[in-house]
Amino acid sequence: MKILVTQLTRLGDIFQTWPVLRAIQRNHPDAEIYFLIRSRFAAAAEGLEGVHVRVIDFKDILTPLIQVEPAVEGSMNRLRTVLDELVALKFDRVINLTFSPFTAYLCSWLDQKGVGAVQGYSRHLDGTLKFGEDFSKYFYAQGGRDRWSRIHLTRLFAGVAGVDLDAQDWRPPTYIQPGHRSGIALQIAGSEAHKSVGDIVWISIIRELRKFYQGSIVLLGSETEKSVAERIENSLPEGSVVNRVGQTSIKEVFQIIAQSELAIAPDSMGLHVATLTQTPIINLSAKSVNFHETGPLSEVSIILTFAEDSDLSSARVSEAVRAILSGNPAEFKFGWKRRSKFLEGPECYERATSERPDTLETMKDFQWSICEGLYFEGRLEKEAPENFVQALVELFEMNEVVLDCLTRMSEGAAPQKFSAILDRSDEVLQAISQIVPAVGPLVRKVYSDKCSIAPSDLHGIIENTRKAHEVFRDEVNALWSIYNKEEVLEAP
Amino acid sequence: MSQELEKYLQQALGKLEVLRRKIGETQGYNEEAQLVRMLEELLKEQKPHEDTRHTAHASR
């Protein structure tokens, strides 16, 4: 059997896919596994055993188009060549772990050419989005930036691939030899500017560490972060750090982090390398990052969140370092910590007792609990945010209007009469969830349920849409009865 | 991203959109239309970052 796994995003997602590839190998020991990644990130697959790496060069495909006189035909030919090469490999299965519009088209193309069934995003024959299984539909509805999902991407990828993960799936590349760990590795920048920590903070953290830590402190980063690293180095007493920023290959970063007794990193390659090498880590996580989805999975992981640099006191970071180096990370009372068991429950982290969540985090706690209730039969928060029950009433009333329209259409009324109302209804549901974000998971779920309706005749589409709205009504009703502590809502 | 590159991207996107509409009106959703959609999506992924590092999660 030949399996194609596509991961066409960036370094972080590629590293988070490694355990899934290993799980696929374990589940299909005789399969030939191909891993499709972007050519500029090919180095991120070095040392990954047992897979054929295929690369796709976006720049090459787009070059004819990005000219003074765009040559569409040239780019189309290049793209077609890439697709033809993939089709010629005659895969039996395609596992798309990239939640992007482009890969949905790409995998749909492969599907239409008779290449095996697609798991993950694809497209129906009319070009509308198609979910190959429930996990990608879940991510579409509840995952991604600014949302509330608390399922780690690696585990979500495993769900899309239909495999169970095992602790042994997190292991370093083949070129890493186990050995004695010493020193602390600091990745000084995040994968994007808004995820990074300022040089002043790093200087303060290193000064604090140097009060008790005599081992080496190695700075890591890319070529573009050299000037920041120099500022850090020049602001500290000579010999305080070993500055390797802009001087390391991915292999060398793996070697340095795998040999360190601790890594400190924002959302970055270093974080994922620490996870694969099971290096204890302190993740400095910007509020804009959903660390539940992309955070560290090292057995010893502490996550310190920050909205502004000033939130990260060097004393607090130092306290976390001391807790980890002394072998008692459980003693650290702030931030979030990795749960003790590797694969326990959908939520990977637990908040330390002294961490007081802010308003936004409290809202996300609630939204996540609604997700758990809707998808995983999980617990619900005891108290709902203000206006939640009122928003449920408004959702219910709008939904009744939609159901009425759909019932009349299924009884033969002309669809044109109702199309404007139905179009507006989605906007109204969306507007309610913007005013009262606590109902966001509910609205996103019905939206994804409707998105996943396959093309068919008008009657089929009406019936399936009606079913989606009936499920929505039941869900709204159930939550209303829990939080309002009364019976069911009546149709207006 | 340089203004010049952004201009080129915008121009290419405009050209693809016109072509997609034309194909849609005359041939429907066929292979050519799919190739055009793929190129459009690839271009959109380039827009936030010149270095093509735009995460795909933000857009669907």
A105-118 average pLDDT score: 93
pLDDT band at A339, cuts 50/70/90? confident
Q: What is the pLDDT of residue A490?
A: 60
Percent of chain A with pLDDT over 70: 97
Give me the residue from B5, B37, B57 closest to A144, CB to CB.
B57
A433-446 average pLDDT score: 97
Q: Report the residue of chain B nearest A144, measured CA to CA.
A: B57
Q: What is the pLDDT of residue A42?
A: 95
CB B36 within 8 A of CB B19: yes
pLDDT band at A116, cuts 50/70/90? confident
Distances in Å between the Cα of A259 and the Cα atoms of A27, A189, A242, A250, A280 are: 31, 20, 15, 14, 11
Interface test with A, best of B10, B11, B19, B38 (most A CBs within 10 A): B38
**Positive/negative CA dihedral, A142, A144, A147, A149:** positive
Q: What is the pLDDT of residue A194?
A: 82
A80 close to B (CB below 8 A)? yes
pLDDT band at A471, cuts 50/70/90? very high
CB A202 within 8 A of CB A221: no
Beta bridge partners of A130: A122
Using a CB-CB cut-off of 8 Å, the residues of chain B touching A10 are 53, 55
DSSP state of A261: S
**What is the tens place of the pLDDT at every residue in A77-89?**
999 999 999 999 9
Per the prediction, chain B carries an average pLDDT of: 78
B23 close to A (CB below 8 A)? no
Per the prediction, chain A carries an average pLDDT of: 92
Q: What is the pLDDT of residue A353?
A: 74
| Alpha carbons within 13 A on the beta-carbon side of A270 | 33
B45 close to A (CB below 8 A)? yes
A306 close to B (CB below 8 A)? no
* Calpha distance A91→A94 (Å, rounded): 7
A298-324 average pLDDT score: 92
Show Cβ contacts of residue A317 under 8 Å, excluding neighbours closer than 6 positions.
Answer: A205, A208, A264, A282, A284, A304
Q: What is the pLDDT of residue B56?
A: 35
Using a CB-CB cut-off of 8 Å, the residues of chain A touching B39 are 61-62, 65, 72, 75-76, 79
Question: In the predicted model, is pLDDT for residue B6 greater than 80?
Answer: yes
Q: In what order do the strands lie in the sheet with A93-96?
A: A52-56, A32-38, A2-6, A93-96, A117-119
Beta bridge partners of A118: A94
Question: In the predicted model, is pLDDT for residue B54 greater than 60?
Answer: no
Using a CB-CB cut-off of 8 Å, the residues of chain B touching A267 are none
A474-491 average pLDDT score: 80
Using a CB-CB cut-off of 8 Å, the residues of chain A touching B37 are 101, 105, 127
Q: Report the residue of chain B nearest A81, measured CA to CA.
A: B35
Interface test with B, best of A6, A9, A102 (most B CBs within 10 A): A102
| Alpha carbons within 13 A on the beta-carbon side of B60 | 18
A409-413 average pLDDT score: 90
As for the ipTM of the complex, it is 0.87
Q: What is the pLDDT of residue B1?
A: 60
A194 close to B (CB below 8 A)? no
Shortest CA gap B48–chain A (Å) = 11
Shortest CA gap B28–chain A (Å) = 9
Q: What is the pLDDT of residue A489?
A: 59
Least confident piece of the model among A83-92, A113-122, A211-220, A470-479: A113-122
B13 close to A (CB below 8 A)? no
**Positive/negative CA dihedral, B31, B32, B33, B36:** positive
Report the C-alpha dihedral over residues A86, A91, A97, A102, rounded to 10 degrees: 30
pLDDT band at A486, cuts 50/70/90? low
